[in-house]
Structure 1
Amino acid sequence: MAATSARALKLLSIFGIGATLTAGELAGRVGASVRTVRRDIETLRDLGYEIEAVRGAGGGYRLGRGTRLPPVVFDEDQAVATAVALQTVPAVLSGIRENAARALATLHQAMPVRSRLHAEAFTVSSARNYWEFPAPPIEAGIVAAVGGAISRRHLVRVDYTGDGEPVTLTLEPHELVVWAARWYLVAFDPGAGRWRAMRVDRCTPHPPTHVPFDRRDIPHGDPVVFVMTAHDRGDAAAEWPCRGSAVLALPAATVARFAPGGSTVEYDTEGTCRLTLGAWSWPGLAGLLLTFDADLAEVEPAELRQALRCLGARIGRGLESPAAPRPGGGAG
């Protein structure tokens, strides 16, 4: 009976994501046979949960519309995911640390003992890694305002600070993407007739418009790919002790995908672009440019050109010198 109840709870948590899954897929997730899963589904139906059978291609089982799940139905994996998420979210959202801590404490109290033990086993502290080039945490209220417009499919008006003076835009917001600890809004700009990837921390939302819009197909069919390949996504070069630029013999979309956070990519030609970035030293900045394995031109400033020359000479000397014998080496 205990095993049956545990499987039923896990099925409920799986159905809670709104997906339609076949009996085989459900069996794989709960570690039971297809026959057992079908029996558990009948048990849930007997308990009053509306589990729909969807026939045809892409069919399977799903939770009926309007069905309410019991509060806090977590299996062990979900308990861990929730605990980690609530502890790490302050790294990308500001003004939310206390609320996240209170939410985690509330969830711990409502969880069954077994799930709570798994959740409490994960205590996470976030620390800055200088290779990540993270952005400061964004105000939670801005994310809530933009995210609310997305979920309601309402136009959103924002004051946007780009490279020049702030402008007021009316946008069709479609998705929020977090990449490299930065928040981006994927939106269609009817005024310009084009899609935009925009830094959310540069947006100041106006009051809700309550004006609906029809969703469009996002370029590439994937908001993440669109953001990663958009060279004009509103990034700004971070303040570092050393900052420089170079024209790379690569398309802007390619460089935008792999450029470190806190850098900017400017379109030059179909096959070239200018990358501006910073680092803690000129050799470090030169090394970042070399990771693109592309021809460089118009390198600025002079300190960066000198650092590239020094790296080239150092590497050349290392390749020319014979390998020194290792201590304890010999024929094996």
Structure 2
Amino acid sequence: MNVEGTTERVLRLLALLQRRPTWTAGELAAELGVTDRCVRRDVERLRNLGYPVHATAGVGGGYCLGAGTRLPPLLLDDEEAIATAVSLRLASGSVAGAAEAALRALAKLDQVMPPRLREQVRAVHGATDTLLPEGETIDADVLVTLARACRDLVRVRFGYPGRDGEPHERTVEPVRLVTTGRRWYLMAHDVDRDDWRTFRLDRMGPVSATTWRFRPREHPDPAGHVQRSVTAAPYRYLARIRLRAGAAQIRGQVPPTVGEVLADGADHCVLVVGGDDLDWLAAHVARLGVPAEVLEPAELREAAGRLSDRLAALAGTVAPAPSEPEENRA
């Protein structure tokens, strides 16, 4: 027997079982390039290692990785599991660049964690405060619920404020969670409105995953869609400004929640930014400190002119208005 090949195949089987909720023996066999009988043997190997692989018979049956009475011994013991889960919950909102990876790991760990350990983790997390920059606090259970719904392709229901400020029940098909640092968004297909929508997690009411599975559909790039939703859609004006600076330089000055920076050659870029006040937009662009050309709207050029006059007056560089000729005085 090729022990190394068997071990690698069993680990691949475990990864497949973690990817989605159920697999038929035929699907697993096709993914692994083996027979159904070989899949059954590998499932038994995982069970012997402590992984809770459940099997159901019938037309809709298959294999799934469930929560067991204890954690698989090859992963973590109880103390390590609690410490890891608590750290992941904190990292999901506090460690720059680690939020998405921490959330994926937390969703996997939460799936197989026994209820008694899960309650201990929640107790520790609920009694802990962190000294972090101001931002919206998101319940880690909401993050886990939405992450697993994205992975398992199940619809989600939650309350969300409408234009009238009152909460309305929304039913969506979730695609992706997007974080901009301390704020989280969900990109999903709104079932009732039949359109793609962006939702802020801190504005959601109670979140619950349904048992209704959906087929994945073609969708926009999640990060780009969320960025456009939060930087352009809510505002009265949408400005496009060509800047004499590289895209990387401007991205370092403009957060993704404020504007979108599009590369335009090696030494130029286009800033797309929304706002309700043209004077604010003009001042925002001026603070970047690089030569700029307003592409649209034309009203922004007028606002820039007004800003220029005010700054010149503030600096005392505006020449006084000429005196009226004496013969024209009353």
Task: Compute the TM-score of the two structures, normalised by the length of structure 1.
Answer: 0.42
Normalising by the residue count of structure 2, what TM-score does the alignment of the two structures yield?
A: 0.42
Considering only CA atoms, is the larger Rg found in Structure 1 or Structure 2? 2
